[in-house]
Structure formats: C-alpha cells, structure tokens
Structure 1
Amino acid sequence: MSDDVVGRLAKGSLLSRLFGSGRAPLRLVAVPRDHVLGDRARGDALVAGRHVLGSEELALADIDFAAIGTRDPLAREMQSFAWLRDLAASASRDKGARMAEAIAGRWLIAHGTRVDEAWAPELWGERILFWTAYAPYILSSRDAGYRSALLNTLARGAKHLDAGADKAPPGLPRITAWAGALTASLTLQGAQKRLSHSESGLMRALAAAQFEDGGLMSRSPQEQMLLVDRLGLVRAAYFAAKQTLPDALENAAAAALAALHGVTMGDNALSSWQGGNPGDPARLTALVDGCGLRARPLRQARGWGYQRLSALGTIIVVDAAPPPPPRMAATGCASTLAIEMSDGAQRLVVNCGGPGPVPTELPPELVEALRTTAAHSTLVLDDTNSTAILSDGSLGKGVADVVIERSEDNDCSRIEASHDGYVKGFGLIHQRRLSLGNDGKEVRGEDRLTPKGRRKIREAAPFAIRFHLAPGVEATVTADGMGAILRSSGAPPWNFRCRGAMLQVEDSLFIDGHGRPVPTLQLVVVGEVSAIGGEIAWQFRRSS
C-alpha cells in the first residue's frame, strides 16, 4: 500500500468538516459477504494510486469527486465504489481500509452534504451494495465522526432511493437502484420497516426489465452479467440479515444466471452481442462461482432470444429475436439470425463485437459500423441492415417478428428461424435453418430468401452470408472455390462447404475482451437473388 497515496488523500484533515455532526450514531445490523473475487491486477493498480478502466485511468492521490463528475464510465465506476471488490482482492483489510476510508472521506466532502449528480438512483444503489459488502474496508476507522458521517449519509441515500428509485432509467439502472434500497433495509439499523416496500420495488423493476426466461430486455450479455452480480449481492444481504429470501426473487436470480450461461462460449467468456465483447473469462468465472446461484444454461430462450445448441464440446449461439427496444438499449444491433460457434475453448465463428460499457479508443464511426448486420455472422441483403440504424444512433424499422421452430432427436438438434427485416425493402423473408449433430462434428445450415408482400425486386439484389472468424483461425480456400479449411491452434481443423453461391475470404476484425480491435478473417458466401427468392446451403464439419 502506497503511504504517499493515502497521505495525500487525507492531507489537511479533509474529514474535519464531517466531525461533530451531533447526529445519533447508526450502525449496520448485518454485513453481507461478497463471495465474488475481484480483479487482482486492477486492485494492484488501485494500491499504486491508479483507477484503471479500459483505455482510461484516474490518479487517486488528488482525486476530486466533484470535479470528475459522473458522465463517463470511469467516473461512474469511481463514484459507485464497485472498485472496492478489486481493492479487497489485492490489499489486506488493514492496508485496504486506510485507502478506502481516505477515498470515502473525499467522497463525503464532495457529495455527502447535498443532493447532486452523484445521487443518481442507480449510483446510490450500487454504492450501497458495495459499501455494505465492504464495510470492513470503509468503517474500520476509530474516528467516530467519520463513521457517523458515512452511516448517516448511507441512511440518507437509502431514503433517497425509497422515494426516487423508480426515477432511474428502466432496466438494469432501476434494478440496481432498488437492489441498493433493499440491501439498506436489510442491513441498516432501523431500516427494516422499509423491507416490504423495497422488495416490492425490486420485483417491480425486474418484472419491467426481465423476460420470463430470465434475460434482460436490453438483450446485452454484459448487462446480464451485472444483473446476476446485483442479485447475488442482494441474496448475500438476506443471508447476513438472517431473513428469508422471497421465492420470486430467488427464481428471478436463478433464471438470470441460466440466461447468462446460455450466451457463454466454450472458453468461459461471453458471446458478442448488442455491442459487447467476450469480456474477461476470469471475471465471469469468479462471478458465477461466487454469486451463490446454480443453474443450467438456458437453451430455448423466447424473450431473451438467444438459442443455444451444444453437443460434445461444440457450442452454437443464435440470435433468434428482434433487436431490443430503444427504451431498454440505446445502441442495439441489427444482428437477427447471426450465430457464434466454438469447439471446446476455441472460438471459430464470431461476431465482430463492440467496446461494451468500458472506455475505448475505438473511433466512433467504427463503433457504429460494428452495430450493422454486416458485422455479424448472418446474411446481408444488398448491403442493407435487417433493422435500420438511424443517423442519431437509434434503431429504426426492420425486424419486427421472428418465427422459431426447434426440434431434437437421436441424430441432431435443429432450429428453423425466420425474420421479416427485408420484407418492406425487398419483399423477402430471411429464413435460416441450422442443425448440430449429436456427435458435435457437423453443423449444417441453409439460408433461404422467400417472397412475401407486395414489394418485388425488379431484377436481382446481391447478398452476402458472412462468417466472421475468431482471431487465430486460418482459412484456406479449396481449389473449386466452394469451401475452405479452417485451422487453429485450439481445435482440430474444420472443413467449410457451401452450395448455391461462391465463397470468398476477406479481412475482418474482432473486438477482444479488453475492447481492442484484432485483425481476423471472414468467410463470405456471395451471390444474387431475384424476386422469387433462393436458397444457399452450407456446412461446417470437424476433420476428426
């Protein structure tokens, strides 16, 4: 622990203004235990005086919470105190507490005496979750004035949430706000009378943002991971307070984890949907291991929308739903009927992905391009998005209806899905059929374009079926131009074949778990389709 950093944080008796408030002392009646291990590397950076998130970092020695604001992701995480988990992974309680209390004192001086932007309901919700779970790190001080100031501010924050949690944006922010309010009512002295009110608020927020199958309506795997984390911390608060967890809340938490498992690939990282990337597999593993929940991967998700096929190490995830509504996801993607595929820990077919919620050095025009249909492993008609992406970044008209049929037998698992995103512009339905053999060695696919509606193509329209390849997967086109051999260091070779169009190999890119672009390749099956439609068959087959 850097004594210089702590010394500068506490320089000039910064906490003196908080002493002698005269308020009755409060205490926590229960301290939840966070079983999720933090990121040791990020914790080491905190100990060294740097808060790092993605491509940005913040010096802690002279941190001014009023100056950093709450607008960017780095500042919001600093204001939320979620970094306490990482600090605890790197520093002992004694050393970590010295730094955490010095930073908390700075926060109290900047924001503890007035309601401002740092009092946003979702920020207070997250702050309460981590202040209570890491109370030993922020309430070990012998200074009664500091402890009283922090606990009284926590109590004011809880009352602020009781009245204003529903003012948080719908979805994960509102869930987070109510999760904090509920945790406060379980752990703070005298707050138990608000327990029923907070439980009702959280269940209401979940009902408005979570499909019955457990997935968030934002359809974001990275937000889904945060949902599991929030509910895991709430569960820990119930156990610490020796209160009975409502069955409805336990069921919602288990369903959330099942949905998260459903979009996890063979390398224990996330598949790339809705502008996200795989993230850190170690972080996901720590969350799953520590959240206190257990669930099997969700395979047939109607609301969440991600269908999962798996057999002997081969995993396929399909986006079989319309994009998320704008009120739940400001920057959704036109990815309907795209797939990702892995063989064991080796990813084979991916989507290009995006920066996710962390700061990035990716240029804005690239981030926008990563939302297009062409950045996903699916069919693109006349270089047109299946759902329009408007100039202001919002989603326009396109896919409104997705029809799905699924079957299983002794030979394989099958999915047949179609979307109407190209009906208005081209008079064509896109239908994708997939089957995965039960030995995990063969994936058969077929993309069909069938006429519907009054709109007709006058002559012909070009199409491209794209299969973006994971970094490290090499593609060698066969002599007849109708196939390719895919080689990687992490799996046996796979043979790709197509029928009804020609195959090209083009450059692509993939956004890795740190939000960085990595050059890679893509298989592109190209051709033209007339008003009567057409079909293209393709196959992936493992060599051994």
Structure 2
Amino acid sequence: NWINRFGRGQGPGWTPALTGRRLIRWINHALFMLRGTEAEQSDVFYRSLEQQTRFLSKRWRASAPGLPRFEALTGLIYAGLSLEGLEELADPAIKALARECASQIDAEGGLPTRNPEELLAVFTLLTWAAAALSDAGRSTPKEHLTAIERIAPTLRSLRHADGALARFHGGGRGMEGWLDHALAAAKVKTRQPDGLAMGYARLSAGRTSVIVDAAPPPGGSASSNAHASTLAFELTSGRRPLVVNCGSGASFGLEWRRAGRATPSHSALSLVGYSSARLAEPDRHTGEEALIHGPRHVPVEIGEAADGLRFEGGHDAYLRSHGLTHARRLELTSDGRGLSGED
C-alpha cells in the first residue's frame, strides 16, 4: 500500500498541498478505512498520520499562495484538531489560514487567479475548516468567516442555470452537485450585488444564464493557468449548455493545454487566430507559462434593454497589434428565450 511504498517522506505525494488534501480524506474516512483491520495495521495508519502532520507543520510555507496553501493549512488544522498530542500544531495553522483569507480573498469574494472552480475548492476547504473548529469547540477567526461570506455570493453569480460553474481561466464545471452542496453547507444566503463578480458579468432570465469574462486576465504568478478569454461568454438554457468555452486542455498534454488557453478556444473574437493575450516563455524553474500582453482597459456596462438585459463591454488587446479595439454587445430577452449580440 501507499504507506509501505512512500510513507517515509519521499516519492509521490509529499508536497504540502497534496499532503494536506490526503490528511483531510484519511481523517474523514478513518473509521471506514480501518474497519476490520488488526491493531498493528491501525497503529501504522495513525503513525503515518502523525508523520504527515509534522511534515505539514514544517513545510506548509513552501506551498504556493492560493489553493495549494489553503489545502495545506486546512489539512494541518484537521489533523491538529483530530489527533491526540498534536493539538499545539493547530493554533499556528488557524492563524495562518486567517492571514491567507485576508490576503487572497478580495472584497468581492474573488481570487487573483479568477478561476471559478479553484474558488469553489477554496470555499469548500474554508467551510470544512470552520465546521471542524466548531465541532472542536473552537472559535473561527473573523477573517476566515468573512472570506466565506464574501465568496458565497460570488459563486452564486458564477453558477449556470444547470448548477455547473462557468468554465474560465483553467476551471471546469465542477463535479455534479458540488457547488450547490457547498453553498448549502455554508448557510450563507446573500447574493452578489449588481455588477461584476470576480470580473465576470452575469445575465439571467427565465431558465437561461449568460456569464461573460468582463475583466483583464490575471497577471503575474496568478496567470500560470489564465486564458486569453476577455469578453468570452457561456450560455446555458435549463439543463443544456449551448455556448461554452473549451476549458483546460491540461489532461491532454502540454500542447492541448496551450491551445485551450488561446482565444480561439473560447466564445470570443479573435483576429485570424490571433489571441487577445500571449504566453510567456516557460519559467526555467517551474516550467509555468504566464499570460502576458493582455488587454489593459476593459470598460463594461450592464443595464436594461427594451426587452430584457444588456451587456456592453470592450477591450484594447488588439490595439497594439492591429490598431483595433473590440466592443461586444449581448442582449438577453426577459423570458430568457432569446439572445442577440454584436461585435
């Protein structure tokens, strides 16, 4: 099994993020996993949990900011609260998670990566950690609770009519029911006020949802999975996605991943296959390819049309290369049965 092959702290699985993720699963399913096992096997299991917890307590800072660090810290909190003799490891992790919430979750409940599925994963981890703290009779830091309260309405804005997430910036639809289950577990009922949610505009009427990427793409280290998708949109009617982006091609290899990040892989305007942003040279240490030379100015206006809702937006990504700006108008009828648009 994994403990015998890799349990000494070397080999696959010994990154802070993956260790945190594994600790959460092992602790949650410990009773099932240990059912019918001998005492000796049970001891091996718990010794491995302790070893992984101590590894995390020393290495969580090596995880990248964002989802990997949220995974590492949540796993450390779970283990510190659940395993006897490791309680002293929980308090530093609780404080560190609160700091991450304050630095990574903005006032609108978004992440720097603008990846909807990643935001859902972070939201799930935060609700799990808050529940674990409550079960242990511990208070949850204000920054932690505030992050949950900010993220929930943003996720509602990124939810299509079929319950799936919008597919942008490396994120997928999410597992069936995951989004609704996470929102129900958080018990946060507020909705996003009118305007953008993590840089996305939403038009919704009847059983139809339209979600538009209405902001510049992420920059810097947050852009390693970003897509050249400015002003791209997705349309879902009832249970049927009608207009979608291709999503991440990472599971098919590097070339497909690059292709998936290009503008032609989105419901957006490209000029003779030219994307609205470019991929930088791979980082010599990580191999990641940042997104560069994207649009700088993305004006947006959302309002009412004669028979429904209107989105108007533009960007200047093609100004340097072609001397052109792109403007897009979308109008959704009040019954949700008609969408018209113009580029």
Same fold (TM over 0.5): yes
TM range (shorter): 0.7 to 0.9
Describe the shift of the 1:343–1:142 C-alpha distance in structure 2 as closer, same or farther (beyond 3 A).
Answer: closer
Q: 1:396 aligned to 2:283?
A: no
Q: 1:214 aligned to 2:104?
A: no
**2:285 aligned residue:** none
Q: 1:166 aligned to 2:61?
A: yes
Q: Secondary structure at the match of 1:380?
A: coil
Which residue identity lines up with residue 309 of structure 2 in the other structure?
Answer: S
**2:341 aligned residue:** 445
Which residue identity lines up with residue 426 of structure 1 in the other structure?
Answer: H
Alignment of 1:304-383 (within 5 A): 304-355=198-249, 360=251, 362=252, 364-383=254-273
Which residue identity lines up with residue 396 of structure 1 in the other structure?
Answer: I
C-alpha displacement at 1:385, in angstroms?
Answer: 0.8
Q: Counterparts of 1:371 and 1:299 in 2: how far apart (Å)? A: 30
Q: 1:421 aligned to 2:317?
A: yes
CA contact (8 A) 1:178 1:205 kept: no
Which residue identity lines up with residue 93 of structure 2 in the other structure?
Answer: S
**2:274 aligned residue:** 384
Which residue identity lines up with residue 328 of structure 1 in the other structure?
Answer: A
User: Residue 124 of structure 2: which of 214, 217, 229 is its match?
Assistant: 229
Cα deviation per residue 1:156-190 (whole Å; 9 max; x = unaligned)? 32232223212101210011111111222222223
Alignment of 1:18-33 (within 5 A): none
Unaligned runs of 5+ in 1: 1-105, 448-544
Which residue identity lines up with residue 374 of structure 1 in the other structure?
Answer: P
RMSD between aligned alpha carbons?
2.8
- Give the paired residue count: 337
**2:71 aligned residue:** 176
Describe the shift of the 1:302–1:315 C-alpha distance in structure 2 as closer, same or farther (beyond 3 A).
Answer: closer
Choose 166-175 or 113-122, whichever is displaced more: 113-122
Describe the shift of the 1:126–1:388 C-alpha distance in structure 2 as closer, same or farther (beyond 3 A).
Answer: same
Q: Counterparts of 1:352 and 1:322 in 2: how far apart (Å)? A: 19
Alignment of 1:134-173 (within 5 A): 134-140=29-35, 143-173=38-68
Which TM-score applies when normalising by structure 1? 0.56
Which residue identity lines up with residue 165 of structure 2 in the other structure?
Answer: L
User: Residue 26 of structure 2: which of 131, 135, 142 is its match?
Assistant: 131
C-alpha displacement at 1:111, in angstroms?
Answer: 3.1
Q: Counterparts of 1:218 and 1:425 in 2: how far apart (Å)? A: 26
C-alpha displacement at 1:256, in angstroms?
Answer: 2.7
C-alpha displacement at 1:347, in angstroms?
Answer: 2.2
CA contact (8 A) 2:102 2:147 kept: no
Describe the shift of the 1:215–1:368 C-alpha distance in structure 2 as closer, same or farther (beyond 3 A).
Answer: same
Which residue identity lines up with residue 212 of structure 2 in the other structure?
Answer: V
Describe the shift of the 1:318–1:349 C-alpha distance in structure 2 as closer, same or farther (beyond 3 A).
Answer: same
Choose 414-423 or 387-396, whichever is displaced more: 387-396
C-alpha displacement at 1:395, in angstroms?
Answer: 1.8
Unaligned runs of 5+ in 2: 283-288
Q: Counterparts of 1:387 and 1:134 in 2: how far apart (Å)? A: 44
Q: Counterparts of 1:250 and 1:141 in 2: how far apart (Å)? A: 39
Describe the shift of the 1:239–1:287 C-alpha distance in structure 2 as closer, same or farther (beyond 3 A).
Answer: same
Q: Secondary structure at the match of 2:310?
A: strand
Q: Secondary structure at the match of 2:291?
A: coil
Describe the shift of the 1:120–1:128 C-alpha distance in structure 2 as closer, same or farther (beyond 3 A).
Answer: same
Q: Secondary structure at the match of 2:301?
A: strand
Q: 1:202 aligned to 2:85?
A: no
Q: Counterparts of 2:8 and 2:212 in 1: how far apart (Å)? A: 49
Q: Secondary structure at the match of 2:111?
A: coil
Q: Counterparts of 1:265 and 1:299 in 2: how far apart (Å)? A: 17
Structure with the larger helix share: 2
Q: Secondary structure at the match of 1:264?
A: coil
C-alpha displacement at 1:321, in angstroms?
Answer: 1.5
Which TM-score applies when normalising by structure 2? 0.85
Q: Secondary structure at the match of 1:227?
A: helix
Q: Counterparts of 2:273 and 2:10 in 1: how far apart (Å)? A: 49
Cα deviation per residue 1:294-324 (whole Å; 9 max; x = unaligned)? 4456465657211111112221100011222
Alignment of 1:230-269 (within 5 A): 230-269=125-164
Q: Counterparts of 2:64 and 2:96 in 1: how far apart (Å)? A: 14
